[in-house]
Amino acid sequence: MPPTSTSPRVQYRSTELETVPAVDRLLRGLGLGGFEEDSVTSVLGRNDNWSGRTDRGRRVFVKRLLDADRDRRLERSLHVERHAGSGLRTPRLLGADPAEALAAFEFLPDARTGAELALDEEMTDERCREAGALVAVLHSLPVGGFDDSPHPLPPVQGLEALSLAHWTVASQAELQMWGLLQRDAELVTALHALRSREPAGPGRTPVHGDLRLDQFLLSGDRLHLSDFEETRAGDPARDLGAFAGEWLFLAAAAIPVTLAGDLPLGRAADHAQVVATGTREVAARRPRVAAFCRGYLDVRPRALEDAGLLERATAFAGWHMLDRMLAAAAKANRLSPVTRAAAGIGRGLLISPAEFTSTLGLDVTP
């Protein structure tokens, strides 16, 4: 489908809006007017979504949550939105229709995601510090009232065996990946240990639970944090590790690109070259993670009273790598060398997190 916007994010004309009349009812019920059809675009994602201008001149973004857990996911998101104005910058909630799993938000003009900024080398140290402060504000909210259920990831039950339903739809590469994980006794032990070390009681805070670079939106000169469907009371190290894991993933993805530019045409890299290139790519991104941690500690300086926070964050960065590799494998027929290398990096972080906290940039102090 042809793009309908000059925004860096690829947008597509929506073909489903006319089949969801509840969107029009929601917008008109909020006094915003209905969408002008020729202004509506959508972006690819987990949920249905529509952005556009209404016949009353308002720019809005509407999301419809999908899957069986949509009611709970919407309630988590709305609970966070009720704290807007407490220093947590998010796209402003305009209204919701829980029965239809719909939520309408103020449209952020010319918004770019953190993932887009990173690819354009514009997710600077300053932006990462701002991102860290935003996450710290979320972690500083009162934990009462947040979903108290355990986070589903890492899915330790999958380390024993996949469900039949999962196995029947998994790609060959995903089955290979799960086989590698399940046969790695040391890694299985490390993942169980990570879950067992998650704090209970006073150590828990509200956590985003699905933190990725594309959950940060830059509009104007300010970052916003979005998508709170997995937010719940949990281990703050989960979000810190996810942010570090995002940069680690970008470092791993850059290895073949860098090697292709460094080596003569047709020459394959040996193991030592791959390791050396990976080391350089990780080091180049370490300042971003360190800046994030500084921003976080600017807001939550007492976070380090939890002596195991940064070590757990490093282990969660390792899990983030494995999670990203599983997601990539789900769309492939075989495991690529890059996927295997990235999974190996994640394994090392999970098994020996204390050895890599400084390498990732997670050893910052206030």
Give the integer Cα–Cα distance in Å for 318 and 181.
13
Least confident of 211-215, 249-253, 273-277: 273-277
DSSP, collapsed to helix, strand or coil, labels residue 278 as: helix
What is the predicted pLDDT for the residue at 8? 44
Whether 7 shows a pLDDT value over 80: the answer reads no
Average pLDDT over residues 65-85: 90
What DSSP string runs through 84-135? TTSS---PPEEEEEGGGTEEEEE--TT-EEHHHHHHTT---HHHHHHHHHHH
What are the structure tokens assigned to 251, written together? 């470092």
pLDDT (tens digit per residue) in 297-319: 999 999 999 999 999 999 999 99
Instruction: State how far the Cα of 275 lies from the Cα of 341, in Å rounded to an integer.
Output: 9
Give the chain's mean pLDDT: 91
pTM: 0.92
Tell which wins on pLDDT, 275 or 210.
210
User: Could you tell me the two tokens for 47?
Assistant: 């949920």
Residue 11 confidence (pLDDT): 53
Q: Does the structure show a pLDDT above 60 at 342?
A: yes
Question: What is the model's pLDDT at position 45?
Answer: 81
- Predicted pLDDT at 86: 76
Question: pLDDT per residue over 142-163, tens digit each?
Answer: 999 999 999 999 999 889 999 9
Residues 42-62 pLDDT 10s: 988 889 999 999 999 999 999
d(CA 23, CA 13): 16
pLDDT value at 136 more than 80: yes
Choose among 279, 215, 227: nearest CA to 248: 279
- The predicted pLDDT at position 37 comes to 87
Find tokens 């860290």 and name the residue: 132
> Residue 223 in contact with residue 130, Cβ under 8 Å?
yes
Q: Of 332-336, 345-349, 361-365, which has the strongest mean pLDDT?
A: 345-349
Query: What is the rounded CA–CA span in Å between residue 294 and residue 27?
Result: 41
The reply to whether CATH 3.65.10.10 applies to domain 12-107 is no
Sign of the alpha-carbon dihedral angle for 291, 293, 299, 304 = negative
* CA 36 remoteness from chain centre: 31
Q: What is the structure's pLDDT at 3?
A: 33
What pLDDT, on a 0 to 100 scale, did the predictor assign at position 2? Answer: 32
Mean pLDDT calculated for residue range 310-336: 93
Split at pLDDT 50, 70, 90, the class of 12 is low
pLDDT at 340: 81
The pLDDT, as a whole number, for residue 82 is: 82
Closest CA relative to residue 130, chosen from 88, 91, 92: 88
Answer yes or no: are the C-beta atoms of 187 and 181 closer than 8 Å. yes
Bigger pLDDT: 140 or 259?
Answer: 140
- Asked whether the beta carbons of 31 and 13 are under 8 A apart, the reply is no
Q: Above pLDDT 90, what percent of the chain?
A: 75
Q: Work out the average pLDDT over 102-125.
A: 96
Residue spans of the domains in the chain: they are: 12-107, 113-360
Q: Class of 113-360 per CATH?
A: alpha beta
Mean pLDDT of 291-298: 98
Residue 275 has what pLDDT?
79
pLDDT of residue 1: 33
